[in-house]
Chain A
């Protein structure tokens, strides 16, 4: 046949003479046909040969039949649960973490038909949640496709596997391996990083260095101190931030000395709390919160810069204020309590009255978000809520950022209370309701859920100017409302008669409803 194909490719007109032969029984048939044109004969022969080949396709034999999947240890979810899960996969991905968690809790696994779709998921967090519910079938299936090898790697969570991923994986995998190894053996993880330090690009070095926040220990100090002399600004800043969180590090000590040199605190005069004390303080013009005296340097000292404090401020902040932020952020907030003998609330209040209020609040807020600092999140949140908008016009909109970021660092009930205050408040808010509601971990307490729904009902009844802000809060709320509150929410939607509402409510409520119903279905269908 190759002869025929070559002849046809080249063209019979190019001198390539030769009779059209296939070397099969077809040739006899073609010979018997009375056809004058050589080209036509070639075509007929090729056609007959194609038919001949199709009819006589030879059976192939396989190398070896595959070993079937091992038998399962946990039951598959019901077909109806599988249908609900498929809806989650196709249209409500945001529910996937909850659904997988529920499945794992019930000791069940995914229906096999869902496996190819979930194995193709890329998110590392989802993959972690998937491993327990893949079942033997999922692991077996992953063995058949090299693109799904992540399952096997995760199932086999040991140092050797992590070392392999650290050495061979792509950036996200390497980072995940490094962070995981930090949990198990911080010293070894650090030595991995030291081993490749010189070869990595600057932004990679900074990202990997930040991973040392996991299991951060005084023994990391020499390496971090070395990184302070790195060429890259981002690396120096990351090293400096980590050292600031090691209270016994030399850098932290230097920072504390700097704070001592330029900050002092006059406690409120009325330490006895008596009425007379208050009056006396007022008479002397003293604040009941105490006074913070702050005097940032006029120019950036060379040693500060070496310690990772950047010279240039971000937009909206003066140079001196910026240096102060950087300094304060590198001292654990508890150190301020200790040094000035005051509570976080007192210090934040005193800061609010000072000329440097924004810089102090920024510095402390950065610390609180980066590492646990009990007692600080609430006063700082209050500061950001009450701060005049003109004051917080800084790049990165700190008020709106910290008003939701700090919620995650408060006791749950306090966070819920503060978020509700914002929700129930009329008029413009310095932060999006979406971000606030999203920051509250679900499921909410019943009381919070009821208050949220009541506030929602009020918005639906009136013609609220903040309709869009409220609608944006529905998405995160649909994920976090406790199951017991869902019927109430559904009744509320029904009463609202979405079709009659304006300002996009119909669509928003429809999505809200379908998410809630799907959650109910998941709960009912994924059951013992």
Chain B
């Protein structure tokens, strides 16, 4: 399949790689260009000549250049070239150097699977593990007690005073939570640091968030009463991680044709967090694939918005299993066409929000895809999407301008993520074709 320019832009590790890629994305820089059903290749003339390959099944790339960026400018350039000058990249038989790499990739994947299976079978020193776990449990419990005291002090002294104190109190408390081995709480606190004074309804919002934090502490202490799924959620929210091997081995597995509904990257403390929202075409299941990148390193896998692939996902444990990992890919990624699988109207989606929130009260985001909604300005809510019944859902950010431009006011299918208050539109189907809606700034 071929990607649109927007989809390629989404693969770039940063803006400078992208502009460098555009420079090599012209036929003159290339020789030996070709494509097959599964791959793209070509030789790029720079200071030296580099061999560039792209595996079209998952958009993994390989280039002989020494760049540490990934995909490098040559690989992005090749993708851009195949999008802008398709005739320059003709169908051809796969050269040996490409064949070899593709072969190595599938062999490596097989080996990885084997290793995972082995690791799952390795006997662990159960006693030592239990001791470590107990130690951590103690520290977390102590940390939560300290947190409770701090929260109670805040309420006793009044939240109004926070506006003048800046982010400091939250940061101090967050650092304590890191020491107490509850990093999940720490990052929640850091997110609250900028809230006082930032918007007119900050007291209500801050109180709500502090309240949820209190609920989390309360819930963890009464873990026995929660049931195993919700307890798993609470533990993850505090910052207990579930190893990927464990998820792959024991997590709930769902095989389906998975559509990448949309993607968003958040910058958090020198780490970029990428969220890819998936929807199973036949099961209707939603899934969240998280990937992390520190200091400009690449996200390990490419999930391109508006493509779909058959795969078996394994879900992390929880009362509302959303986060998942790809256990096994079973087909190449293909471009999506036609309408999006999703809620028929806003009310149906809000009902889904209610059910999901009831199952997981600390729910932060939910994927959303809505059929046939128009874009409209609402006096009280600002920009919204509106369904055929006239029900609106407020929007986040400024992607509504592109949505309006592309739709011309006509109802279209949109996808995005719901943050509890507003919908951030990430994609839309225009004339049967998926369009990425974020990324105008990239």
B254 within 8 A of partner (CB): no
Q: Which of B361, B390, B405 contacts A141 (CB 8 A)?
A: B405
Interface residues of B in 339-361 (CB under 8 A from A): 346-347, 350, 353-354, 357-358, 361
Q: Which chain B residue shows the least CB distance to A12? A: B156
Contact B357 A69 (CB under 8 A): no
Q: Which chain A residue shows the least CB distance to B410? A: A68
Q: Which chain B residue shows the least CB distance to A114? A: B405
Contact A44 B214 (CB under 8 A): yes
Q: Which chain B residue shows the least CB distance to A56? A: B354
Docked Cα-Cα span, A144 to B402, in Å, equals 12
Report if A514-B26 is in contact (Cβ < 8 Å); known contacts: A13-B156, A499-B47.
Answer: yes
Docked Cα-Cα span, A57 to B211, in Å, equals 18
Report if A116-B440 is in contact (Cβ < 8 Å); known contacts: A145-B401, A499-B47.
Answer: yes
Docked Cα-Cα span, A286 to B156, in Å, equals 106
Q: Which residues of B contact A141 (CB under 8 A)?
A: 401, 404-405, 408
* Interface segment out of the listed A81-89, A196-204, A262-270: A81-89
Q: Which residues of A contact B157 (CB under 8 A)?
A: 11, 13
Interface residues of A in 92-126 (CB under 8 A from B): 112-117
B287 within 8 A of partner (CB): no
Nearest CB of chain B from residue A507's CB, rounded to whole Å:
11
Q: Which of A62, A69, A116, A510 contacts B401 (CB 8 A)?
A: A116
Report if A60-B392 is in contact (Cβ < 8 Å); known contacts: A43-B211, A117-B440.
Answer: yes
Q: Which residues of B contact A5 (CB under 8 A)?
A: 203-204, 207
A59 within 8 A of partner (CB): yes
A467 within 8 A of partner (CB): no
A137 within 8 A of partner (CB): yes
Nearest CB of chain A from residue B377's CB, rounded to whole Å:
7
B209 within 8 A of partner (CB): yes
Contact A50 B402 (CB under 8 A): no
Q: Which of B155, B208, B346, B402 contacts A12 (CB 8 A)?
A: B155
A49 within 8 A of partner (CB): yes
Nearest CB of chain A from residue B69's CB, rounded to whole Å:
19
Most buried by A among B83, B204, B376, B384: B204
Q: Which chain B residue shows the least CB distance to A82? A: B5
Q: Which residues of B contact A39 (CB under 8 A)?
A: 151-153, 155-156
Q: Which chain A residue shows the least CB distance to B160? A: A9
Q: Which residues of B contact A184 (CB under 8 A)?
A: none
A45 within 8 A of partner (CB): yes
Q: Which residues of A contact B5 (CB under 8 A)?
A: 83, 86
Count B-side interface residues using an 8 Å CB cutoff: 68
B409 within 8 A of partner (CB): yes
Contact B158 A112 (CB under 8 A): no
Docked Cα-Cα span, A1 to B208, in Å, equals 10
Report if A54-B214 is in contact (Cβ < 8 Å); known contacts: A8-B155, A517-B28.
Answer: no
Contact A510 B405 (CB under 8 A): no
Contact B215 A44 (CB under 8 A): yes
Contact A47 B211 (CB under 8 A): yes
Contact B207 A46 (CB under 8 A): yes
Nearest CB of chain B from residue A352's CB, rounded to whole Å:
49
B213 within 8 A of partner (CB): yes
Interface residues of B in 193-229 (CB under 8 A from A): 203-204, 207-215, 218
| B24-47 interface code vs A (CB 8 A; 1 in, 0 out) | 001010000000000000000001
Q: Which residues of B contact A57 (CB under 8 A)?
A: 350, 353, 421
Q: Which residues of A contact B380 (CB under 8 A)?
A: 60
Docked Cα-Cα span, A521 to B25, in Å, equals 13
Contact A59 B346 (CB under 8 A): yes
Q: Which residues of A contact B358 (CB under 8 A)?
A: 55
Q: Which chain A residue shows the least CB distance to B212? A: A47
Contact B404 A494 (CB under 8 A): no
Q: Which of A10, A54, A63 contacts B158 (CB 8 A)?
A: A10
Most buried by B among A12, A13, A62, A83: A62
Nearest CB of chain B from residue A150's CB, rounded to whole Å:
16
Contact A11 B156 (CB under 8 A): yes
Q: Which residues of A contact B100 (CB under 8 A)?
A: none
Interface residues of A in 33-65 (CB under 8 A from B): 33, 37, 39-40, 42-51, 53-57, 59-63, 65
Report if A55-B211 is in contact (Cβ < 8 Å); known contacts: A8-B203, A66-B409.
Answer: no
Q: Which residues of B contact A160 (CB under 8 A)?
A: none
Q: Which residues of A contact B207 (CB under 8 A)?
A: 4-5, 8, 43, 46, 50
Nearest CB of chain B from residue A92's CB, rounded to whole Å:
10
Contact A61 B392 (CB under 8 A): yes
Q: Which of A62, A116, A514 contacts B386 (CB 8 A)?
A: A62
A231 within 8 A of partner (CB): no
| B388-402 interface code vs A (CB 8 A; 1 in, 0 out) | 001110100000011
A468 within 8 A of partner (CB): no
Q: Which residues of B contact A56 (CB under 8 A)?
A: 354
Report if A65-B374 is in contact (Cβ < 8 Å); known contacts: A37-B152, A141-B405, A145-B401.
Answer: yes
B330 within 8 A of partner (CB): no
Q: Which residues of A contact B210 (CB under 8 A)?
A: 43, 46-47
Most buried by B among A1, A39, A47, A514: A47
Between A and B, 22 residue pairs with Cβ closer than 8 Å are A5-B207, A8-B203, A10-B160, A11-B157, A12-B156, A39-B153, A43-B152, A43-B207, A44-B218, A46-B207, A46-B210, A46-B211, A49-B208, A51-B215, A60-B380, A60-B392, A66-B374, A66-B377, A68-B374, A144-B377, A510-B23, A517-B26
Which residues of B are at the interface with A, using a C-beta cutoff of 8 A? 4-5, 19, 22-23, 26, 28, 47, 83-84, 148, 151-153, 155-161, 203-204, 207-215, 218, 346-347, 350, 353-354, 357-358, 361, 363, 374-381, 384, 386, 390-392, 394, 401-402, 404-406, 408-410, 420-421, 435, 440
Lowest 9 A-B CB distances belong to which pairs?
Answer: A47-B211, A11-B158, A50-B208, A46-B211, A69-B408, A43-B214, A68-B409, A55-B357, A13-B156
Which residues of A are at the interface with B, using a C-beta cutoff of 8 A? 1, 4-5, 8-14, 33, 37, 39-40, 42-51, 53-57, 59-63, 65-69, 79-80, 83-84, 86-87, 91, 112-117, 137, 140-141, 144-145, 490, 494, 499, 510, 513-514, 517, 521
